[in-house]
Amino acid sequence: MEWARKTPQNPRFPIMSTIAHFSQSTAASPAPLVPQEGWYVLHLFYHIDLGMWNQLADEDQRERKTRFAKLIQTIRAHPKTQLLTFSMMTPKADIGIMVLTPDLHDANRFEKQLALALGPDVLAPAYSYLSMTEWTEYSEKKEEAIERLKKEGLEEGSEAFTKRLTEWQAHMDKYFQDRLYPNMPDWQIFCFYPMNKRRGTDDQNWYALDFATRRQLMSGHAKVGRTWAGKVRQLITGSTGLDTHEWGVTLFAHDLFNIKGIIYEMRFDEVTHRFGEFGDFYIGIQVSVDELLRRTLVD
């Protein structure tokens, strides 16, 4: 990365000169840590120490902003990796970053680089979450689809049967791809929150229910979500054993009203009102890196 070699070193922050070297150190790169399916997902939220930032000379500020912007570009250019940037609402956080990538080493490396990209004392972690894209266990299996088509009166092996089954398979293939290897939208409104399924009394213990009951409940839950198609895009990621909750929910919309609307409506669904437990909600606006730096560093 030519820009990094030309960046003058600041003796007050010698660690900054190591960022590019860290990203380029491939001689002893460890073997990739790629899961058998899905990608790793990092939600990173930071506060900016404006007092520290405003003490820096103008030239130093420009160099740091350039370094930050070029690091974002480098990560986005990494194979099978996506990075989204958000200007966050409310003082919970100033900057939000979402990273999807297939290698745990890369996810770890990117997180460390991003934390230092504006200088070791400028970005302070406000909140973070680690999860993985995952496939839902409640989706219809092929043998179940075959039995359903038979019950509809279609003879197995017939032209009509084969056509319907082929259409079902194409739909499921796309659904599988969208869940495990999603292409994140550029919609402006962003919302993230973690959630659990409750383990309370027998009446409110999700994990005490049998599979058929859980599947039926989730089917109704999904129907509510589908009524918001075209207004809200969602990504449900799994985090059991990875972070404080069991799932991360990421929502995108063009209108914050629709984020509020779908979450409110879901409150009345049985899966939510009997079993749902939620962490804090983080709302942001997806903006370009230049706009993010203008807003958060008060240029």
Which residues are catalytic, by number?
A: 193
206 touches 270 (CB < 8 A): no
The two structure tokens encoding residue 70: 């070029």
Among 242, 239, 134, 230, CA closest to 185 = 230
- E-strand ranges in the chain read 40-48, 82-88, 95-101, 123-133, 189-197, 232-238, 247-253, 276-278, 282-286
Cα maximum dimension of the chain: 78
The two structure tokens encoding residue 87: 């200007």
CA 65 centroid distance within chain: 24
75 touches 83 (CB < 8 A): yes
The two structure tokens encoding residue 51: 């007092």
| Helices marked H in 117-210 | 142-151, 159-180
The DSSP secondary-structure symbol of 205 reads B
Question: What distance in Å separates the CA atoms of residue 2 and residue 5, rounded to the nearest whole number?
Answer: 5
210 touches 276 (CB < 8 A): no
The two structure tokens encoding residue 221: 């839950």
